[in-house]
Structure 1
Amino acid sequence: MGLSEDPELQAVLFGLFLSMYLVTVLGNLLIVLATISDSHLHTPMYFFLSNLSLADIGFTSTTVPKMIVDIQLGSRAISYAGCLAQMSFLILFGCLDGMLLTVMAYDRFVAICHPLHYTVIMHPHLCGIFVLVSFSLSLLDSQLHNLIILQFTYFKCVDIPNFFCDPSQLFHLVCLDPVTNNLIMYFVGALSGFLPLSGILFSYYKILSSILRISSPGGKYKAFSTCGSHLTVVCLFYGTAIGIYLSSAVSLSPREGAVASMMYTVVTPMLNPFIYSLRNRDITNALWRRHSRRI
């Protein structure tokens, strides 16, 4: 159904989403490029950050290009197979975002609570395993959603009150009573959201306990400043995503739900590069050094 049926708004929406998509892709690619090209950033934290940027590109690429094409062609139709594919990739990259944020929280926990053993614990082999496991669990969660949908009635010629094939909306379309539908939603939400968030909260509980034991205010600020960007992204990502899924049980209008979904599918991946580049001096210096070499 898109965001609006008003013909006068279609050009505005086209320009807005195209601009946001280009900013998202270019911003995240800059972080990946800076991480690869600058030897100062060859550390576990920036290795995970570059993978998070790639996941953000994939996450927003599952929804925005299709909407841009739909606005340009004046058609909002999507095939049954295409809808399931879009849902699968959306969950894959969205869950991967959450998993990588959890791994990054663990990385900060080791760096602050066990600084002398950091290089031994967070060696490159373990970092690669973390990313591989995160991708595997995300793929498993994605296919779990597909299997649940495929078990029920094939549906066609239906309206999805969003600008993409939102999993929560697809569950509402299958032949389930509201109680069963909510139970499934909360179960898969716990797997993909609650467990990673629990790991993040536990890591920051340990980090905060360690920081409070530091005597000097300067030491406390320095320790906590290394977590500032990550903590901001966590609050932005999980704050919007949890709000959407909790509000699915509340009667929101279709347009309100679509606008709310835009926050975590489009706006959050676009803001992540700005958060990490503006709040992180290493990224800023790496980009500046690369720009200086080109000049």
Structure 2
Amino acid sequence: MSTNSFSSFCLFLFVFLLSAQLTSTLNCFECNNCDNIPSCTCNTLIPVDAKTSYCILLRESISDTVNIEIKHISRNATTYYIYDPYYISVQETISFDKVLQRWYSKSNKITYACQTDGCNRADLIKQLPSSGLSLMLPNDWLDENLQRKPDKMTTLCRKCDGETICNNTANLININKCNTQECQGSCLMGEVYEQAETTQFCYDSFCSDDTTIGPVMQLPQIEITAVYYINKKQLEVVEIDVICNKDDCSRIEIFRDIKDKLQKDLNGIKPFLPSESTDTTEPTKSPNHGNAIYSTSIIFLMIILLQTLIFY
């Protein structure tokens, strides 16, 4: 073999293995026929790019029906940024029961996300807790901040004139752009940590008098979307929507209060958490498909080069 031929061969082999290293494959289960949790089965594995996608199991309660999804999604499929594709996300509502005169929490949607081959098995659907993370706030805080006093006929509510106020830091949002008004109905407001062209916090507030709802006082409630990162052992609230009747309840500080006082229960998601037999147990980490392929490629390349040198 000539020197030029040998060099060309080595270059070709290096480029080939480098391209293989840059292509990492993840296998996710994917089925569309699981409408019954006890009998749900799924045996179809779909190869996807692990650099841009991950696997999920999703259960969502819609009226009297339950929607189940077993599939993969892209890393930018959510409106908020995902730091680690190994998490439990929930959408839950804290509402007031007027008949029983008590506050309660309801889970609307729960998603398990992971990034190991076949990690979104259908049998795990039964393990997703119907109560989600049981997100809740202290009853006295809810009464004090959301309920209208009997002697009050209106609520002082901020009105942002259809404009969503955004900034890259929640504490810097300028709500002075929003005027205050007397509201006979309820004040509706929201804060979202979104990922659009830039990652930012956005705030909105308006009075139900100015909508099709009209001047009708609604039952107060808080809808929360949150992500529990399994490796970080950390809950991050990414969206809060509030219906309140308390005077001046649309102040922006209420969102910080909700995050500070929010209670969660992780007992229901224990089947999805890494075992912690000791205090030093390391978080379970998703395998690095790219590194595995890279290591294999390097070893294979060295063997080929060695054999070539011997015969050369």
TM-score for both structures, normalised by structure 1: 0.27
More contact order relative to length (CA 8 Å, sep ≥ 6): 1
- Work out which of the two has the higher radius of gyration on C-alpha atoms and give 1 or 2: 2
Query: Which structure has more helix as a fraction of its residues?
Result: 1
Query: Which structure has more strand as a fraction of its residues?
Result: 2
